[in-house]
Amino acid sequence: MTPEQLNELAIEAMGHAYAPYSGYKVGAALLCADGTVYQGCNIENASFTPTVCAERSAFFKAIYDGHRDFAAISVCGGKDGVISGSFPPCGVCRQVMREFCDDDFKVYLIGDGTYETVTLTQLLPHSFRADTHMNG
């Protein structure tokens, strides 16, 4: 699975978004270490706080199915599903990634016809994680 192929699956996932309130459609494609891919989209709610991001919906599907090792995630988003620039993961999604992923977990930020690769440690430096901060 190339980054470009994963990006295509994120773009496809964006089409599944339920975003009647913000209008921002977001898609994610999560690559597991065994090659399985899980797609996710944002799912909004009239009460706002129950809204879940595309990244977390992909992670939660994969985790439910028993996956614990992850290699990369592609993310894209934009108003009405039109990509005009990168749509980086929010802080809550970064912390969910931190729970399951290593420092070098790759995040492909899809832009307008291109993409940028960043690592989890770049997105979330000095992060809190159980295996280093809850070992006492």
- Taking a C-beta distance cutoff of 8 angstroms, is the pair 53, 21 a contact? no
Instruction: Assess 24 for contact with ligand THU (CB under 6 A).
Output: yes
Beta carbon nearer to ligand THU, 10 or 133: 10
Residue 44 binds ligand THU (CB under 6 A) = yes
Among 38, 76, 89, 109, binds ligand THU (CB under 6 A): 89
* In the block, residue with structure tokens 């977001």: 26
Least distance (Å) between residue 19 CB and ligand THU: 5
Q: Is 14 helix (H, G, I), strand (E, B) or coil?
A: helix
Q: At what angle do helices 91-100 and 54-64 cross, to 10 degrees?
A: 20
Residue corresponding to tokens 């199915």 = 65
Among 65, 85, 90, 112, binds ligand THU (CB under 6 A): 90
**Choice among 4, 55, 99, 116 that is catalytic:** 55
> ∠ CA 56-80-40 to the nearest 5 degrees?
20
Residues lying near ligand THU in the complex (CB under 6 A):
19, 22, 24, 26, 42, 44, 51, 53-55, 89-90, 93
